[in-house]
């Protein structure tokens, strides 16, 4: 059975490997519990739509140039793992972290932002009641955060960070935005032209 220490050792070994940044995950997704996954799905959806691939083996990068990885890390159950993840993030080639946690003490995003600084951390409050603990940082300890549950936007923000350095990510962001605009135009036309009854009928069929 894998122990927390095994995971810490793994992260530290990867940090020491001095891997080519083109082969390391660009985005790290972490969450306080696997019970957060339904809310964090939006981040995976957005990254998939932007053409990112998941990297499950640090030593064997997928063909896609831009990748993400994910781990469950609990600020309260496994604080030593949170420290190790934050402290090794830069050396492991992570450029931006998306961190989600729920409950009233949702401390993974804010603590990871402090530990991994200056790597940007986008916090996702998994529940409405988590918002204050995610965003309530003291002066000098920054975090970027989205509204409760908005993990899709967290992934877009993460891609925006990468886009400052990578034109290909910027182009994908612009394309996705155009597709979403076209989607609104399509829905708007359908609602108008089919009328409310026809629109409801089509959606129900």
Sequence-ordered strand ranges (E) for the chain: 27-31, 53-54, 67-72, 96-101, 121-125, 144-145
- Letters for 154-173 (x = contact with ligand AIR by CB under 6 A, - = none) are --------------------
Residues 125 to 144 in contact with ligand AIR, rule: CB under 6 A: 126
Residue 23 or residue 74: which is nearer to ligand AIR going by CB?
74
**Mind giving me the DSSP string for 95-108?**
-EEEEEE-SS---H
In the structure encoding, which two tokens stand for residue 42, read together? 């939006």
CA 116/CA 195 separation, integer angstroms: 52
φ/ψ of 20, rounded to 5, equals -60, 125
124 makes contact with ligand AIR (CB under 6 A): no
146 near ligand AIR, rule: CB under 6 A:
no
Q: How far is the CB of 72 from ligand AIR (least distance, A)?
A: 9
Residue 59 CA: distances (Å) to CA of 103, 111, 194: 35, 28, 53
Residue 4 binds to ligand AIR (criterion: CB under 6 A) = no
Q: How far is the CB of 105 from ligand AIR (least distance, A)?
A: 5
**ω before 19 within 30° of 0 (cis)?**
no
Binding ligand AIR by CB under 6 A: which of 26, 36, 69, 95?
36
Confirm or reject binding of residue 37 to ligand AIR (CB under 6 A).
Answer: no
Residues near ligand AIR, by CB under 6 A: 31-33, 35-36, 74-77, 101-103, 105-106, 126
């Amino acid at each position: 059975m894998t122990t927390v220490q095994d995971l810490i050792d793994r992260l530290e070994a990867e940090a020491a490997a001095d891997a080519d940044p083109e082969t390391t995950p660009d985005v790290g997704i972490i969450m306080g519990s696997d019970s957060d996954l339904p809310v964090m799905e939006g981040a995976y959806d957005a990254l998939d739509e932007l053409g990112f691939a998941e990297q499950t083996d640090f030593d064997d990068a997928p063909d896609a140039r831009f990748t993400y990885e994910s781990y469950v890390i609990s600020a309260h159950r496994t604080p030593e793992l949170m420290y190790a993840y934050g402290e090794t993030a830069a050396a492991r080639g992570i450029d931006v972290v998306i961190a989600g946690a729920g409950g009233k003490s949702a401390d993974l995003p804010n603590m990871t932002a402090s530990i991994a600084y200056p790597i940007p951390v986008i916090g996702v409050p998994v529940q409405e009641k988590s918002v204050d603990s995610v965003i309530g940082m003291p002066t000098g300890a920054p975090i970027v955060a989205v509204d409760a549950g908005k993990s899709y936007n967290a992934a877009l923000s993460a891609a925006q960070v990468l886009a400052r350095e990578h034109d290909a990510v910027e182009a994908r962001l612009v394309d996705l935005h155009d597709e979403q605009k076209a989607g609104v135009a399509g829905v708007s036309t359908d609602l108008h032209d089919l009328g409310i009854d026809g629109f409801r009928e089509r959606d129900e069929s």
